[in-house]
Chain A
Amino acid sequence: MDNEKSQKDMKISERRDFFKRTAALGVTALAGTSLAASQQDDPAIMHHVPWGQKWGDPVTKNRYGIPSAYEHNNIRRNTKLLASGNYRASIAVTPIHESEGIITPNGLFFSRCHGGVAHIDPKEYRLMIHGLVKKPIVLTLDQLKRYPKVNRTHFIECPANGGQEWRGPQFNSLQFAKGFMSSAEWTGVYIKTILEDLGLKPEANWMLAEGSDNSEMGRSIPVDKILDDAMLVWGQNGEALRPEQGYPVRLLLPGWEGNLCVKWLKRLEFSKEPWYAKEETSKYTALKPTGKAVQHFYANEVNSTVVSPSPEKPWTDLKDGDIVEIEGLAWSGMGTITGVDLSFDGGKNYVEAKLKGLVLPKSWTRWSYIHKYKKGEVLLLTSRAMDDAGYIQPTVDEETSVMGVESVYHRNGVETWEVTATGEVNHVQIRS
């Protein structure tokens, strides 16, 4: 809850109330009675609220529910910096600063496409699986959904999350600094289950996943992942995938780069050699200072951020001595979060934060630390996560010493929020 905002609301309602009260006093004066109004009384309590005295909407309204009109600012946003292709080869990012728990509402799930969001007629949907399999098949959507299902909670992250900030912080915003990711419970089938029918030939090393969208987005994936936890998913948080997420079917490679999780999926082909599709060479390769670029950069490494406070939702309303929860997200495409450390001095000294709620593999994990706020204190809040694969977030210096500043992708160095003496929050980095 943003107290500054609520105080503002209060002022508005007080102002509104001034007129009402003036009118009411006029009436009571005439009636010869009086009700002693105290300055401490909250008008939101003392008066009937408009929605309490009239019929609400019938249950027949909004056959597919929509958020409260008051939540209209909790939306995906975009920036011209990332506006390629008239927003058809572009991204709209998730308002992480408003996120709760480890699930992103489907309408807020970040949206990245390479040729615009395709709208597929499910009746004309076909999935073809061929190449180095004993039996190639084509499936309708209904046939695909007949396979035994699995439900898994995983984040999907664009490997360019934070990728604008290799040379220094650029976005004074959590939404833009870390919002190239979202999380959902996915429903689908393990590809390995389907391959039991088809019989993967032993010489198969790679699988091409290809979308049916305007860009025919394609990526080569090693069969190791296909035989591990790769899924074909059609369900997202209990309903069909949204068009922005590849309706009716996308590939899900838990923990791996979002672009590998090909949307509007049309074709899977197995082969001995990889394809060198456009998005696995021209993009999504990380150039190092050696002049060599990392290609087939799969898993998003362990990462974390403080979510509350954030530049969008600062601490300007806190009073001296307030008990406040510093809350954040941690995630790893390589495993399960095992711990998060929090620093108040930009990474010089750390304390252990507490993990909260479900702690799942390759999933967002909530963590927090209870803090007693001292008015006027200046803090540098830095979080640092670890996973069960043994990884820990590097410092900004440690990461750039290997990757330089031109690699764009897979930046997972620790992130720092500066809390100023007035409670404003700024995105900064600590560098030597």
Chain B
Amino acid sequence: MFKLDRKSVVSAFIVTVATVAVASSVPSKPSIDGGVYYPIVNGKTGPYLVNTQSAGMKINNGRVPTANEIKAWDKDIMPDGTGLPEGSGSVEDGETLYEEQCVMCHGDFGSGGGGYPALSKGNAYELQKTLKNQRDKPDADGPVRVFGTYWPQVSTLWWYIKDAMPHTKSKTLSSDETYALVAYILNINEFEIDGEEVDDEYILNREKFLKIKMPNRDGFEPNIDGPNAREAVRKYYANPANFGAKKVKPSKRCMKNCQKKTAKVVRIQNGGINAFEPPMSVERDLPKKPDYDQGFNVLKNYEDNCMPCHGADGMGAPVTGDKEVWAEVVSKGMSTVYKNGIDGIRGMPAKGGASVSDKEFKMLVDYMIEKSK
């Protein structure tokens, strides 16, 4: 029923706005993503009204870029070598560059670390076989998804290094340096090019680069190459079973007894992930003072908050200046002294009732100890 509606709607659309040059390119087929296509019909797309007065008009904003301008920005590298400049670089030079500019993020031999991706986990051809691994049991090994084992095209690596690396100062590497780094990354992934091992002596150039075949070249679906690619993509997403989606007629959906007998509640294990920054809170209060106020006046805060009890005998609190008593206090260890003060101890309320940060409170304690030496 849905398909019928769309067909009639789309044909109406083509008739009414046939003057729009691009309209004929709009597919009168299911959407490429498996979703609904909302054509502009009678000045409406879905619930939205559209002003279609400009249909067929040339607006002609902007200007034609110069050849140099296009060249300056068109720096992408395509799998067939389009855009890839001539040049060469050795594994040896690549390693030197890597040690200088990359190792601090990507780790020794591309092992990863610090939240940056690993570039290698060893022999790419062997590790490509791990891609069927599933961590569906507690001690199961996962798939290794690094450049060598996973990426379908090597052009991606060259392009990305040249455009986006090093991360803190991108677009600073020459083409030869890029070839060298690519050579080094191929080396640590134990690649072969045209039957030849990319060993420590290897020198990579454009010609050799274009012969690289990635171990996982055929590891992706749907097909996106060639003249029939868009049809292949459309067909792929027309089948929900391909991508874990589910279609059902609303009237046929399950409303009662929809679960297997074995259904059970799975809970968060080991506390889950809760290291949130800032910590989770739904309090509606005034923001806490910053950790440390640059203008924090120790003397004034001492006088306001501490002196009433610590300033004179008779209050039961260690008196500022009483070396003996404070030496005994300090002998408990500073972390205990701070903690007692922050939490409150005996007659002393938490932080002595002062509204100061922990750090500021410690400054007040330090002040009293200093005055009692």
- Whether the Cβ atoms of A80 and B266 lie closer than 8 Å is no
Chain B residues with CB under 8 A of A175:
276, 280
Judge whether B139 is part of the interface by a CB distance below 8 angstroms.
no
> Do A293 and B219 touch (CB < 8 A)?
yes
Q: How far is the CB of B250 from chain A (nearest CB, A)?
A: 6
Given contacts A196-B21, A224-B230, A289-B134, contact A139 B277 (CB under 8 A): no
The residues in A between 255 and 287 inclusive whose CB is less than 8 angstroms from any CB of B are: 255-256, 266-267, 269, 271-278, 281-282, 285-287
Stretch at the interface among A42-50, A202-210, A242-250, A323-331: A202-210
Closest A residue to B287 by beta carbon equals A72
Is B69's beta carbon under 8 Å from chain A? Answer: yes
In the complex, A222 has a CB within 8 A of chain B: yes
Sort A-B residue pairs by CB-CB distance and give the 5 closest, nearest first.
A334-B35, A335-B36, A139-B62, A299-B33, A403-B244
B346 CB–A CB distance under 8 Å: no
Question: By the criterion CB–CB under 8 Å, are A128 and B273 in contact?
Answer: no
Partner of A266, one of B32, B73, B284: B73
Fill in one digit per residue for B213-230: 1 if any A CB lies within 8 Å of its CB, else 0: 000000111101111011
B31 contacts A224, CB within 8 Å? yes
CA distance A391 to B276 in the complex (A): 34
Q: B35 contacts A136, CB within 8 Å?
A: no
Are A224 and B27 in touch, CB under 8 angstroms?
Answer: yes
Given A287-B143, A291-B132, decide whether A73 and B281 contact each other with a Cβ distance below 8 A.
yes
Contacts of A224 in B (CB 8 A): 26-27, 31-32, 230, 234
Query: Which A residues are in CB contact (< 8 Å) with B258?
Result: 347-350, 395
Residues of B within 8 A of A168 (CB): 266, 268-269
- Can you list, as one digit per residue, whether each of A286-303 has a CB less than 8 Å from chain B (1) or not (0)? 110111111111110100
Contact status B135-A406, CB under 8 Å? yes
Q: Are the C-beta atoms of B250 and A298 separated by less than 8 Å?
A: no
User: Does the CB pair A426–B36 fall under 8 Å?
Assistant: no
* Nearest B residue (CB) for A140: B62
Chain B residues near A296 (CB, 8 Å)? 222, 224, 233
User: B310 to nearest A CB, angstroms?
Assistant: 23
Contact B268 A169 (CB under 8 A): yes
Give the residue of A173, A292, A390 whose beta carbon is less than 8 angstroms from that of B280.
A173
Q: Which A residues are CB-close (under 8 A) to B160?
A: 278
Is B142 within 8 A of A292, CB to CB?
no
Interchain CB contact under 8 A, B245 and A412 = yes
Query: Which of the residues A143, A299, A361, A431 comes within 8 Å of B38, measured between beta carbons?
Result: A361
Among B60, B152, B226, which residue has its beta carbon within 8 angstroms of that of A281? B152
Structural contact, B167 and A89, CB atoms closer than 8 A: yes
Chain A: residues with Cβ within 8 Å of the partner, total of 153
User: Does A350 lie within 8 Å of B156, measured CB to CB?
Assistant: no
* From A115, A360, A416, residue with most partner B Cβ within 10 Å: A115
Query: What is the bound-complex CA distance between A418 and B143, given in angstroms?
Result: 32
In the assembly, what is the distance between CA of A297 and CA of B78, in Å?
20
Q: Mark A125-164, 1 if CB is under 8 A from B, else 0.
A: 0001010000111111001101110101000000000001
1/0 per position for B122-148, CB-CB distance to A under 8 A? 000000000111111000001101010
B51→A148 contact, CB < 8 A: yes
Residue on B nearest A386 in the bound complex, by CB:
B250
Whether the pair B155, A276 counts as a contact (CB closer than 8 A) is: yes
B151 to chain A, nearest CB (A): 5
* B48 close to A85 (CB less than 8 A): no
B233-282, CB < 8 A from A: 233-234, 237, 240-250, 253-260, 262-269, 272-278, 280-282
B80 at the interface (CB under 8 A from A): yes
Nearest A-chain residue to B254, judged by Cβ: A350
- The residue from A144, A176, A290, A349 contacting B273, defined by CB atoms under 8 A apart: A176
B62, B70, B142, B237 interface centre (most CB from chain A within 10 Å):
B62
Mask for B280-299, Cβ within 8 A of A = 1, else 0? 11111111000000000000
CB atoms of B221 and A294 under 8 A apart: yes
Q: Please indicate the chain B residues that have their CB under 8 angstroms from the CB of A312 in the complex.
A: 280, 282
Question: Is A349 in contact with B22, judged by CB distance below 8 angstroms?
Answer: no
Does chain A have a CB within 8 A of B8? no
B59 at the interface (CB under 8 A from A): yes
Q: Please tell me which one of the listed residues A75, A274, A349, A402 contacts residue B225 in the complex, with CB atoms under 8 A apart.
A: A274
User: C-beta contact mask, A68-89 vs B, less than 8 Å → 1, else 0?
Assistant: 0111110101111101111011
Q: Is the CB of A338 within 8 A of B250?
A: yes
CA distance A335 to B275 in the complex (A): 35
Per-residue CB contact flags for chain A residues 357-399 toward chain B (1 = under 8 Å, else 0) read 0101100000000000000000010000011111111110111
10 contacts between A and B (CB under 8 A): A69-B286, A80-B115, A172-B268, A176-B273, A215-B164, A224-B32, A269-B74, A286-B243, A292-B219, A428-B267
Across the interface, which residues of B come within 8 angstroms of A193, CB to CB?
54, 59
Partner of A77, one of B46, B115, B278: B278
B332 within 8 A of A: no
| Given known contacts A281-B151, A281-B153, A84 and B116 CB-to-CB distance under 8 angstroms | yes
Q: Is the CB of B36 within 8 A of A273?
A: no
Neighbouring A residues of B34 by C-beta, 8 Å: 299, 334, 389
Distance in angstroms between the alpha carbons of A287 and B40 in the assembled complex: 36
Q: Is the CB of B263 within 8 A of A394?
A: no
User: Which of B32, B115, B244, B263 has a CB less than 8 Å from the CB of A298?
Assistant: B32
Q: Tell me if B274 and A276 are in contact (CB < 8 A).
A: no
Residue among B27, B70, B272, B278 with most chain A CB within 10 A? B272
Min C-beta distance of A430 to chain B, whole Å: 5
Contacts of B45 in A (CB 8 A): 229
CB-CB under 8 A from A407, the residues of chain B are 244
Please provide the chain A residues from 1 to 19 with a CB less than 8 Å away from any CB of chain B in the complex: 2, 5, 9
Give 1 or 0 for each of B37-61: 1 = CB within 8 Å of chain A CB: 1100000011110110111111111
Is residue A227 contacting chain B, with contact meaning CB distance below 8 A?
Answer: yes
Residue of A nearest to B154 (CB): A276
- Bitwise, A404-432 to B at CB < 8 A (1) or not (0) is 11110010100010100000001111111
Complex contacts, B190 vs chain A, CB 8 Å: none
Chain B residues in 8 Å Cβ range of A402: 241, 243-244
B91 smallest CB distance to A (angstroms):
22
Q: Is B275 within 8 A of A79, CB to CB?
A: yes
Q: A196-B20, A223-B25, A276-B156 are in contact. Are A281 and B277 (CB under 8 A)?
A: no
The one of A171, A192, A222, A256 in contact with B22, judged by C-beta atoms closer than 8 angstroms, is: A192
B65 within 8 A of A: yes
Q: Which residues of A contact B225 (CB under 8 A)?
A: 273-274
